Every structure is written in structure tokens, then in C-alpha cells.
Amino acid sequence: MKRSSAAFPAPLHHPLPPPLTTVGLCRDGPPHLDAHHRAFRGTQVDSEVGTLRRVLTHRPGRELRRLLPDNHADLLFDEIPWLEAAQAEHDRFTGLLHENGVDTVELSSVLTAALGAPDVCRRIASAAMRPQHLGRTVAASLYDLLNSATAAQRTELLLSGVTMGELTAHSPLGVSSSLGFKSRPADWFVLPPLVNSMFVRDSSSWIGDRYSANSMASGTRAMEGRLLSAAADAAGAQRIGDREPFESAALEGGDLLLAGAGCVVIGVGERTTAAAAEQTAQSLLSSGLATHVFAVLLPDERQCMHLDTLMTMVDQESFLVSGVHRDRCHWFSLKLNADSTVRADSLENPFTALATALGLSGIRLIETGDDEFTMRREQWSDAANVLALRPGTVIAYDRNTMANDRLSAAGITVLTIPSGELVRGRGGPHCLSCPLVRDPLTI
């Protein structure tokens, strides 16, 4: 991360309590996880378009105030959003979900409930330490800071990050004498802020009644996967395979598309690796969670970082696809060999193969537009990244007028939300949501 001498705002909304003498214990008593358990109880997701009943979201918070002109690129943002406007836009998004009968689960609430459990607290605090990068003194002080906080404070620290200056204010004697402290400016992040955490799609993927503990491609987002998996594990959710966040090949949820009827499509590109696609295909096929798995090699461009930036499902047989990039993707069918290794067979007619796997006579493709300049501009603002509330009804960004008009002309109901600030992180409504429960899809 680039160094800066600029000072950040005051470190916390509420002062932290003094550190405990025994750092291996959390301040919180027995956790109250009823709401947390309910959030991850009865999860079932078999498609992208079955009627949405429960979804994980995160209202952007103080973490966005950590973005500066000299660090936003390192934190994977193209611009610096206006927090209050981004929150208003996100409130409209969750309001629209509520109006359509969808129960929203707030990420920070789930994390606070989970982080009240001593074992979860220790697991996350240990993961945050990274003594090989921070040095033992700084790492130990960070561990103490997280353990001495309340569960709510702990959630804010993990989401908003911790600078060297903030850590020193908490533990001045131990940290300030270390070489790790003296070699870094006060605004250097000991714990990076999770500015991308509003894009909850990526840190986990719920398939059937289980979940994939995803590994973020960038170290900036590593803690997102660790936090979500810790919360899900604490609630008793069952994992797919034996993946450990940030210890496995990179896999992000925006690259997983559940087409229905046991068909899963995996994007391979800037974020998700071929190794992760093979690993996921092996787990899904061997467990029976999927009967057909396809892999799509994506163009190596920022606006194509995930599969869901290029295509999303809008009803049982229709996909909204980027008119700019549709023919630049290469598809493969992934199958298990007798020895459980994965074989990749190239597909010349991928949508024909997908239709066959889904038991359909054909797939309808709705391109985002027919004017190249408009398509390229709207691709940058996530025109193809829509969220299906039910078959034939989607949420889209209001700014992508050409793509939205084409959806409407194809008989799809388009509900729009404002997007002037949310779009600055290169994520649309699909990225802003992680479905936990959808009705079974009838094809």
C-alpha cells in the first residue's frame, strides 16, 4: 500500500475500553446468537431467479471514509464515493427488497453476534495479526485491541480498519518502541479497511443448503472471506468441500452463476483462478450439488472482473449479456474423470450446451445494447449486473438506460435504484446481494 502522511479522521465513534490483562479472553460474555443462527438457518439457493426470500446485504459505513486519493486504487475503488449519498442509494436498494417481500440480513449485525463468541473472537483476532508482516510487537498489540473491544466495536474495527496511529493510541508503550511502528507513518493500515464489504456477493456463495468459503483474490479483501466463514461456521452452516478463506486458490462469488437444474457456471479471470474453478467443480460434482459445471474464461479487463459483470440470469431461460464482450469469452464443460480429477472440454456452442443441461429447447440472450459507445459506457457502470427478485423481475441501476430499455422490451420488469455513488466501486445490484434463500425454480 502506498504511504501517505495525511491524517485520517478520529479513529472510532466510541472510545475503546482499556486493554485487559489477559489478552486471550474476549470482553463479551456468553454470545446471544439467536438472530445470527436464524440468518443462516434453512438456507436454500438452487438458481439465480427463483423468488428471493432472504438475502445478505451490507449498508456501506465508515469504512468508505478511509478512501483517499492516494489509496483508493490499492483498495480496489476507482473513485472516492460520497458516503451519505451511497448510504441513501443503498437504503433505496434494501427498501425495494423489503417492498418485494425479501428479508434482508445485515452483515454487520451478523458479525457482531458471531464476534461475541470467545472462540470466534480468537479465531478472527489470530487471523488479523499477521506477525510475518507486522512484526510481533505490533501484531500482539492488534490482537489485544481486538480482544479488549466489545463485539460491536470489534465489528467496526474489522470493517473500518486500524491505522498505526490508532493502534498506538490504544497501546502507546508497547507499539511506539517497535521498529514496525517506527518504519510506518501514522496513517498506515495495520488492518486494512474492508471498503468492498458492501459487495457481499463475493465472500461466500450459497449453493443448495451449503456454502462455499470463498478466497478473495486481493489481500485487501482477505478478511471479508474469513469473517463471513467464521460467522457461518458459528451458526452451524455446512461448507462445500474443505476450502479455507485465503488459504485456497482465489474464488469470488461474482464468478459463480447458478443456472438451475443442477447447472453451475464459473467465471475464470481477474479474480477467480482456473485452479479454484477445478476445485469447486470437483466438490460440486462429487457431492451431487451440481450435475453440470461450465467454466468461462473472461477477458482480462477491469470491467470484466467477474462473470456477473458480463451476464446475469433474468428468468428461467433468459440471460442479460454484455453486447461488447459476449463473443470474447471461451466456454468449457468441466467433468470428473474416473480418478476424480477434472477434465475441461472446449465448447463451440456454449449456450446450446447450457440449454441442453437445463432441459430447455434454447437460451434467450438479451444484449445490453446495439450502440457500441453506449454499451461500452454502460458496461463500466454494471449494465449487465442485475439482481432477479423472481423470474422476469430484476433490480438494475437507473443510469443504464439502454440496457434497461432492452430488458423492458424483452418483457422483463425492471425496478431501478439510484447509483451515482455505489457504482464507484464497480459493482451493481447483483454484487450488492448474497442470496440465502430462494424458492425452487420450475423450468
Q: How far is CA 89 from CA 296, 328, 421, 431, in A?
A: 32, 33, 8, 14
> CB neighbours (10 Å) of residue 247?
11
Each residue's pLDDT tens digit, 132-175: 788 888 999 999 999 999 999 999 999 999 999 999 888 766 67
Q: How far is CA 347 from CA 150, 305, 337, 344, in A?
A: 53, 22, 18, 9
Is 108-194 a CATH 4.10.280 domain?
no
DSSP 208: B
d(CA 48, CA 50): 6
Strand 52-57 relative to strand 330-336: parallel, antiparallel, unpaired? unpaired
Each residue's pLDDT tens digit, 57-109: 999 999 999 999 999 989 989 889 999 999 999 999 999 999 999 999 999 99
Angle CA 296–302–303, to nearest 5: 75
DSSP 44: B
Q: Contact 6/163 with Cβ under 8 angstroms?
A: no
What pLDDT does 26 receive? Answer: 43
- Given CA atoms 28, 31, 35, 36 in this order, what sign does their dihedral have? positive
For residues 206-244, one letter each, b for 16 or more C-beta atoms within 10 angstroms of the residue's C-beta and e for the rest, the string is bbbebbbbbbbbbebbbbbbbbbbbbbbbbebebbbebe
Q: Contact 297/266 with Cβ under 8 angstroms?
A: no
For residues 67-97, one letter each, b for 16 or more C-beta atoms within 10 angstroms of the residue's C-beta and e for the rest, the string is beeebbebbbbeeebebeebbebbebbbebb
What pLDDT does 4 receive? Answer: 36
Give 6's contacts (C-beta < 8 A, 6+ positions apart). 68, 70, 187
SS3 213: strand
Task: Say yes or no to pLDDT of 28 above 80.
Answer: no
d(CA 222, CA 219): 5
Output phi, psi for 26, to 5 deg.
-95, 155
> What confidence category does residue 20 fall into, taking pLDDT thresholds of 50, 70 and 90?
very low
Q: Which parts of 27-150 fold into alpha helices (H)?
A: 34-39, 83-99, 107-114, 118-129, 131-134, 136-148
d(CA 152, CA 112): 5
Least confident of 20-34, 168-182, 286-300: 20-34
Give 265's contacts (C-beta < 8 A, 6+ positions apart). 256, 257, 259, 293, 294, 295, 296, 307, 354
Output phi, psi for 390, to 5 deg.
-170, 170
d(CA 276, CA 402): 35
- Given CA atoms 302, 255, 322, 414 in this order, what sign does their dihedral have? negative
Cell readout for 73 is: 486504487
Mean pLDDT of the chain: 88
Q: Which CATH superfamily is domain 93-101+198-438 in?
A: L-arginine/glycine Amidinotransferase; Chain A (3.75.10.10)
> What confidence category does residue 376 fall into, taking pLDDT thresholds of 50, 70 and 90?
confident
- Given CA atoms 14, 15, 16, 17 in this order, what sign does their dihedral have? negative
> CB neighbours (10 Å) of residue 151?
20
Residue 211: which H helix or E strand, with range? strand 210-213
What pLDDT does 17 receive? Answer: 32
Q: Contact 266/298 with Cβ under 8 angstroms?
A: no
Q: Look up cell 451431487; give the residue.
A: 288
Q: Contact 363/354 with Cβ under 8 angstroms?
A: yes
Active-site residue set: 431
Residue type, 354: L
- The structural domains of the chain, with segments of one domain joined by +, span 93-101+198-438, 108-194
Least confident of 21-30, 60-69, 384-393, 414-423: 21-30
Output phi, psi for 360, to 5 deg.
-110, 155
Task: Say yes or no to pLDDT of 379 above 90.
Answer: no
Each residue's pLDDT tens digit, 226-281: 999 999 999 999 999 776 665 679 999 999 999 999 999 999 999 999 999 999 99
* Among 428, 391, 194, CA closest to 306: 428
